[in-house]
Amino acid sequence: MTSVRSMSKTILVTGALGQIGSELVPALRERYGKDAVIASDLRMLPMGASAGNGPFEHLDCTRIRPLQDILSRYQVGIIYHLAALLSAVAEDRPQVAWHLNMDGLYQVLEAARQNHCAVFFPSSIGAFGPTTPRDHAPQDTVQRPTTMYGVTKVAAEMLCDYYFRRFAVDARGLRLPGLISHVAPAGGGTTDYAVEIFYQAIRYRHYTCFLRPDTRLEMMYMPDAVRAIIELMEADSTRLVHRNAFNITAMNFTPDELAQEIRKHIPDFVIAYEVDPIRQTIADSWPRTIDDGAARDEWGWTPRYTLETMTGNMLDKLRHRLRPAM
Ligand code: VAH
Minimal-distance CA residue to ligand 1 atom 8: 124
Minimal-distance CA residue to ligand 1 atom 1: 189
For β-strands 171-176 and 246-247, DSSP reports them as parallel
Task: Kindly report, residue by residue over 75-116, the tens digit of the pLDDT.
Answer: 999 999 999 999 999 999 999 999 999 999 999 999 999 999
Residue 147: CB within 6 Å of ligand 1? no
Note the pLDDT of residue 306. Answer: 98
From 74, 80, 149, 207, the catalytic residue:
149
How many Å apart are CA 77 and CA 112, to the nearest integer? 8
The yes-or-no verdict on residue 186 having pLDDT over 80 is: no
Note the pLDDT of residue 324. Answer: 72
In terms of Cα–Cα distance, which of 167, 148, 28, 55 is closest to 106? 167
Residue 150: CB within 6 Å of ligand 1? no
Residue of 325 and 160 predicted with greater confidence:
160
Ordered by where they begin, the domains of the chain are 8-177+222-247 (3.40.50.720), 180-218+251-288+304-325 (3.90.25)
Given its phi and psi angles, is residue 285 left (phi above 0), alpha (psi -120 to 50 degrees) or beta? alpha
Angle CA 238–25–78, to nearest 5: 35
Note the pLDDT of residue 187. Answer: 81
In terms of Cα–Cα distance, which of 172, 127, 118 is closest to 149? 127
Minimal-distance CA residue to ligand 1 atom 7: 178
74 is catalytic: no
Residue of 322 and 137 predicted with greater confidence:
137
The secondary structure of the chain in percent helix, strand, coil, rounded to multiples of 5, reads: 45, 15, 40
Angle CA 69–245–221, to nearest 5: 95
The residues with which 180 forms a beta bridge, in sequence order, are 221
E strand or H helix at 247: strand 246-247
How many Å apart are CA 21 and CA 68, to the nearest integer? 21
Q: One-letter amino acid identity for 250?
A: A
The yes-or-no verdict on residue 1 having pLDDT over 90 is: no
The yes-or-no verdict on residue 51 having pLDDT over 70 is: no
Note the pLDDT of residue 321. Answer: 85
Q: How distant is the alpha carbon of residue 64 from its chain centre?
A: 23
Mean pLDDT, to the nearest integer, of 234-240? 94
Residue 249: CB within 6 Å of ligand 1? no
Atom of ligand 1 nearest to the CA of 188: 9
Residue 44 — pLDDT band, cuts 50, 70, 90? Answer: confident
Note the pLDDT of residue 46. Answer: 73
For ligand 1, mutation pick of 19, 91, 176, 292 (most atoms within 8 Å of CB) = 176
Mean pLDDT, to the nearest integer, of 141-152? 98
How many Å apart are CA 259 and CA 171, to the nearest integer? 38
Three-state SS letters, 283-303: HHCCCCCECCHHHHHHHCCCC
Residue 7 — pLDDT band, cuts 50, 70, 90? Answer: very low
DSSP secondary structure string for all residues of 96-113: HHHIIIIIHHHHHHHHHH
In terms of Cα–Cα distance, which of 189, 207, 200, 222 is closest to 271? 207
**Cβ(122)–Cβ(275) below 8 Å:** no
Residue 219: CB within 6 Å of ligand 1? no
Residue 209 DSSP label: E
Residue 47 — pLDDT band, cuts 50, 70, 90? Answer: low
The rounded Å distance from CA 86 to ligand 1 centre is 6
Residue of 186 and 116 predicted with greater confidence:
116
Mean pLDDT, to the nearest integer, of 199-205? 96
The yes-or-no verdict on residue 41 having pLDDT over 90 is: yes
Burial class, 39, CB count within 10 angstroms (exposed 0-12 / middle 13-18 / buried 19+):
buried
Note the pLDDT of residue 6. Answer: 47
